[in-house]
A and B are shown apart, each in its own frame.
Chain A
Amino acid sequence: QKEVEQNSGPLSVPEGAIASLNCTYSDRGSQSFFWYRQYSGKSPELIMFIYSNGDKEDGRFTAQLNKASQYVSLLIRDSQPSDSATYLCAVNMFYNTGKLIFGQGTTLQVKP
C-alpha cells in the first residue's frame, strides 16, 4: 500500500514565526515530491517541487528531502496570515508516470 502521511493539525503559529510541516512516505523508490497549498474552497496550487536530497529554497519557502529517512518537510519563514491554508504533500511513486499520492494535508493557521 503506497502511503503518504501528514499531521492534519491544525498547526498554529504567530505571525513572523517559522512554520514547519512534515510528511513521510512509504515507497523508498519514490522519485519526486511536491508541496501544494490549498485555500479553503479553492483548488490546490503547486508551491514547491523537490527531487534530490537536501534543501531547496524559493523565497520564504524551503523544502527539505531526506530519502534515507523517507520524509520531506516544508518550512515557511516569516509566516503571514495569508499563508493560512491547507498544505498537501504529494509523492510520485509510479515510475515514468505523473501519478501522485497525496497526504491528507496539514492545516496551518497564522495568527496576527
Chain B
Amino acid sequence: NAGVTQTPKFQVLKTGQSMTLQCAQDMNHNSMYWYRQDPGMGLRLIYYSASEGTTDKGEVPNGYNVSRLNKREFSLRLESAAPSQTSVYFCASSEVEAGGKDTQYFGPGTRLTVL
C-alpha cells in the first residue's frame, strides 16, 4: 500500500519548456488535489478533483492544467514554464470519513526549478 506517489521527485526546466507531473493514489479516494508550496507561503491549492471526470480551480490555477485520468491518477501540466513556477508541488487525496472528517494524505512532493 504505497499511499500517494508522485513522479518525478526533482526536475529542472528552462523557461518555456513544458512538463507533466504525475500523481497516483491506491487508497480508492474520490478527491484529489494539487498544491504548490513556496517559502513562507504555506500550501496553495492549484486544482482540485472531487471525482473521476471532474476538476475545479483552486487559489492559483493560472499557468497550469490538470487531467483526472481515472480514479487513481491526477496529473498536473505546465504548458510553458516560467521562473515564478519554481516551487515544491504536492499531490494529495482524501475521502470523507464518519463525522465529516476529510483527511488529506500527501505525496512526497516534486521539487521543480525553472531557470
Contact = CB atoms under 8 A, between A and B. Distances in A.
Which secondary structure characterizes the binding site on chain B? strand
Contact of A49 (B44, B103, B109): B103
Nearest to A89: B42
Interface in B26-85: 31, 33, 35, 40-45, 48, 50, 56, 58-59
Contact of B40 (A8, A34, A92, A101): A8
A102 B60 CA distance: 13
B103 to A, nearest CB: 5
A88 interface: yes
B64 to A, nearest CB: 16
Contact of B45 (A34, A42, A100): A100
Closest 10 CB pairs of A and B: A43-B106, A104-B42, A102-B43, A102-B42, A98-B102, A98-B31, A98-B94, A49-B101, A46-B103, A105-B42
Interface of A: 4, 6, 8, 31-32, 34, 42-46, 49, 51, 88, 90, 92, 97-105
